[in-house]
Amino acid sequence: MHLLLLLLLKGVLIAALLLGLLLLWLELRHRLRPASPLRLTAESFAVEQAGGRVIVRGMVTLANPHRRMEVFVPQLELRPTLLGRGDLSGVSIRTHVQACHPDEESRPDGYWAAYIIKGRKATRAALSVTIEAPADVDPAVLLDTLWLEVLWVNYGPFGRLWRRDGILVPLRRPEPLEAAGAAWREGERCRVLPLRTHLLGTLDDPEQVLRRYAGALVQPGDVLTIGETPLAVMEGRYHHPETVHPSALARLLCRVFHPTSSLATACGLQSLIDLVGPARVLSAWLVGTALKLVGSKGWFYRLAGDQARLIDDVTGTTPPYDQTIVLGPSDPASFCSRMAQALGVAVAVVDVNDLGRVKVLAASAGCDEELLQRALRPNPAGNANERTPLVLVRPA
């Protein structure tokens, strides 16, 4: 009997050692995989309108934070997409890219010559988009948003990688509500006011958005909520699946999730792996599966971290982000604290769906979460194209 127990213990120890070695190998392989350090950031964009023509101008910076690696950028081009309020087939659109390298003269013909970004250096590019509508169409009425994708190549020790960054430029913005015209909805011992905004993106500052659309309406005792996805896209936490390179683990493990889960695709699960590492994901699945067999569910998401629940795969958000994978916000608790101090009311980041599920990701000190559960259960902001990412909640 003792011999059997010793053999069993020895088998368990060997299995644990092999599993530990497997997790270590997966983690090292993931962290040491070749990758490009370059990052693209968009600066302020200006929109000008003259007659039937709209001109959008802006700058992007390509930065290399690596100390020694030099990376080539042999190609950069624009792919614009217009979103509007009607038929856009008669609208023409032209793009232009002007390289603004710090050590080279710009080419007047707009040709992007291959350029090397040295370690801890950066370069810039001026982008312009000219939109022309038919003579009988007012672009201010027809056009709504420009989704400008920057397709660029990174070339270096890691190989040749396509990068695809999307920049959302609003071409029109709704006027903020005034207190006299606010259509409050009556709730359970509270009043609720969804606030319509323009389509949000990385060019927006979250504090300025909250001030513009809610600043004139908030009163002491109110709670101002923002959806986790709109906050995440303002933080730039989204990427195109084309830039994701699924590992064998992601391709295999994604098959065990429910088909409606954002982790049920190789790119969706790989996005989680890129955030928390393959060892944590595999460990969470092994432990979660074992506990599920004895009747305790939900442990994978607890062990894999908050981002496992917050990732939205393609089709999970409003256009044009429906083509991308959107992560959860980076630090919602810190955001709520800062915004509460800036606005003088409680602020919360929430995740609400049409099934009545209300999850408060983070809230500022003193926020009444039970009030939020009552107020947001009917999902006043909606999950379609309502463009009401802000909801003001006022106790009755």
Domains in the chain with CATH codes: 39-170 (2.60.40), 179-236+328-395 (3.30.1330.100), 238-326 (no CATH)
pLDDT, mean of residues 245-266: 96
Q: Is the pLDDT of residue 3 over 90?
A: no
Summary mean pLDDT of the chain: 92
Q: Is the pLDDT of residue 196 over 70?
A: yes
Which pLDDT score, from 0 to 100, does residue 187 have?
87
Residue 2 — pLDDT band, cuts 50, 70, 90? confident
Which pLDDT score, from 0 to 100, does residue 396 have?
82
Residue 380 — pLDDT band, cuts 50, 70, 90? confident
User: Which single residue is written with the structure tokens 């699924």?
Assistant: 246
% of the chain at pLDDT higher than 90 = 74
Which pLDDT score, from 0 to 100, does residue 211 have?
97
For residue range 138-186, list pLDDT tens digits in order. Answer: 887 889 999 999 999 999 999 999 999 999 999 999 999 888 778 899 9
Residue 104 — pLDDT band, cuts 50, 70, 90? confident
Q: Is the pLDDT of residue 39 over 80?
A: yes
For residue range 200-243, list pLDDT tens digits in order. Answer: 999 999 999 999 999 999 999 999 999 999 999 999 999 999 99
DSSP 61-88: EEEE--SS--EEE--EEEEEEEEESS--
Residue 260 — pLDDT band, cuts 50, 70, 90? very high
pLDDT, mean of residues 273-280: 96
Strand intervals (E) in the chain:
39-50, 53-64, 71-73, 76-84, 92-100, 115-117, 121-132, 143-156, 159-170, 185-187, 190-195, 223-227, 238-239, 325-326, 346-352, 358-363, 390-395
pLDDT, mean of residues 261-278: 97
Q: Is the pLDDT of residue 315 over 70?
A: yes
For residue range 361-372, list pLDDT tens digits in order. Answer: 999 998 989 999
User: Do you find a cis peptide bond into 320, omega within 30 degrees of 0?
Assistant: yes
Residue 384 — pLDDT band, cuts 50, 70, 90? low
321 secondary structure, DSSP code: G
Neighbours of 179 (CB within 10 A): 8
Which pLDDT score, from 0 to 100, does residue 22 have?
86
For residue range 119-134, list pLDDT tens digits in order. Answer: 999 999 999 999 998 8
Q: Rounded to an integer, what is the distance from CA 86 to the centroid of its chain? A: 27
How far apart CA 261 and CA 268 sit, in angstroms, is 9
